[in-house]
Amino acid sequence: MAGVTDLPFRRQADRFGAPYVVSEMVASAELAKARPDVVRRAAGEGLKGPLVTQLAGRDPEWMRVGARLAEDCGADVIDINMGCPAKCVTSGQAGSALMREPDLALRLIEAVAESVATPVTVKMRLGWDETQLNAPDIARRAQSAGARMIVVHGRTRKQFYNGAADWAAIAETVAAVSIPVIANGDIRTADDARTALRLSGASGVMIGRGAQGRPWAPAALARALSHGGDMRDPPMRAILDSLLALYEDSLAFYGQHHGLKVARKHIAWSIDAFLPKMEPTLRRRMRADVCMLDDPQAVREALSRLFGGPWAEAA
Ligand SMILES: Cc1cc2nc3c(=O)[nH]c(=O)nc-3n(C[C@H](O)[C@H](O)[C@H](O)COP(=O)(O)O)c2cc1C
C-alpha cells in the first residue's frame, strides 16, 4: 500500500509474524530510471518472510525492465498492480485503468512473466464499473500468461473506496481459474475474513487499511484463522516497543529529516488504533502534539508517556 507498507512498517509486520506483506506500489519506469524514492520502495532487507514487490506501469518494456530490477533487488514474488484507482495512476492508463484495457494488461503480465523466474501475481478490482465486471475474464487470461495468484479487491474502480466490498462477487473469479484467488476489501476482523472466505470461496484473504497503525494485524488474523477465535491485540508494551522500533528504523532508512516526517503517519495511525478509550478531542490534540515534535528524543518520550498512560491500559 502506497504510503503505508514501507520497509520499516513491513519489518514490524514481519516481526509480529505476518505470513505475507506486499511492498508499496513501485512505478516500473521510475524504478528503471533509478529514482531514489522509488528504488527505496523495492528494498526488502531484514525481512524473514517473502519479499513481495508490487510493480505498476503501462508499458510492457518498462515493466520487463522493472521486473528484472525488482528481481535483482531480491524479490521473491512480483505483483502487478491493476487495482489502484488514483487519478494520477489511471490517467497514465496504469493501475485499475488496465481493467478497461485487458489486451494491454495481458501484454504487461506476459512481459513480466517472460522476463523473470520469480513468481508473478496480479492484484485487480472486480472491473472498471458495474457494467464491466471483467475480473474473471482477465484472471483467466492472466493465468494463461503465467500468473500464479490473483488478488481481487471486491469493488470496481468507479467505487474507489465507497460502498462495501462485495466478497460474493469474487466467487466468479475463483470459479474462472485454478490458481489461488485471494479476497480483499473491508476485512478488519477474523469474522470478516471468515465471511469473505465463505462467500467468495477464495483461498485466502488480504488485509489493507485494517493494518494501518497495526502491523501485528496480519499475523493476528492468520493465527485466528488457523486456531479459531478473534484477532488478539498484543500487550500494550509490545505495541509501544514496535512503534519505537519503527520510529528508529524510519530515521535510519530515510535519514533523520525525511524519516521524522514519514514516521508521523504511522504514529498517528497507531494513536488512533490503540488509544480508542481516550476522549476523541484529547486524542486529536495528543496526536497533533506528538506529530509536531522535531526532536527524536522528545518523540520517544511522548510515545512512552502516551502508550504507558492510563488510557492505554484501558484500551
Ligand atoms: C492509502 C492506500 C494506499 C494503497 N496503495 C495500494 C498499492 O500501492 N497497491 C495496491 O495494490 N493497493 C493499494 N491500496 C488498496 C489496498 O491494497 C486494498 O486493496 C484496499 O484498501 C481494500 O482493502 P482494505 O479494505 O482491506 O483496505 C491502497 C489503499 C490505500 C487506502
Q: What is the pLDDT of residues 50-91, one digit of tens each?
A: 999 999 999 999 999 999 999 999 999 999 999 887 777 766
Phi, psi (deg, nearest 5) at residue 266: -65, -40
Cα 67 to chain centroid distance, Å, stands at 19
Which atom of ligand 1 sits closest to the CA of residue 209? 27
How many CB atoms sit inside 10 A of residue 99's CB?
A: 25
Atom 10 of ligand 1 has which residue's CA nearest to it? 1
Residue 73 bears catalytic tag: no
Ligand 1 midpoint to CA 85 (Å) = 9
pLDDT score at 283: 87
Ligand 1 midpoint to CA 145 (Å) = 25
pLDDT tens, residue by residue, 197-235: 999 999 999 999 999 999 999 999 999 999 999 999 999
For 148-215, give the secondary structure using H, E and C: CEEEEEEEECCCCCCCCCCCHHHHHHHHHCCCCEEEECCCCCHHHHHHHHHHHCCCEEECCHHHCCCC
Which atom of ligand 1 sits closest to the CA of residue 165? 25
Judged on CB neighbours under 10 Å (0-12, 13-18, 19+), 181 is buried
pLDDT score at 308: 80
pLDDT score at 315: 46
Q: Which of 73, 84, 88, 291 is catalytic?
A: 84
Ligand 1 midpoint to CA 295 (Å) = 31
Atom 28 of ligand 1 has which residue's CA nearest to it? 1
Ligand 1 midpoint to CA 136 (Å) = 20
Phi, psi (deg, nearest 5) at residue 57: 165, 175
Residues with CB under 6 A from ligand 1: 1-4, 24-25, 54, 81, 83-84, 123, 153, 184-187, 207-210
CB within 8 A of 190, min separation 6: which ones?
A: 221, 224, 225, 229, 230, 231
Distance CA 244, CA 234 (A): 15
pLDDT score at 310: 65
- Average the pLDDT over 158-164 and give the result: 95
pLDDT tens, residue by residue, 166-191: 999 999 999 999 999 999 999 999 99
Distance CA 2, CA 217 (A): 18
Ligand 1 midpoint to CA 117 (Å) = 26
Pair 69, 40: CB distance under 8 Å:
no
Question: Where are any strands of DSSP class E within the chain?
Answer: 22-27, 52-56, 77-82, 120-127, 149-156, 181-184, 204-206
Distance CA 254, CA 296 (A): 14
Mutate to test the pocket of ligand 1, among 152, 153, 156 (most ligand atoms within 8 A of CB): 153
pLDDT tens, residue by residue, 261-285: 999 999 999 998 888 777 889 889 9
C-alpha grid cell, residue 310:
492510563
Which atom of ligand 1 sits closest to the CA of residue 24? 8
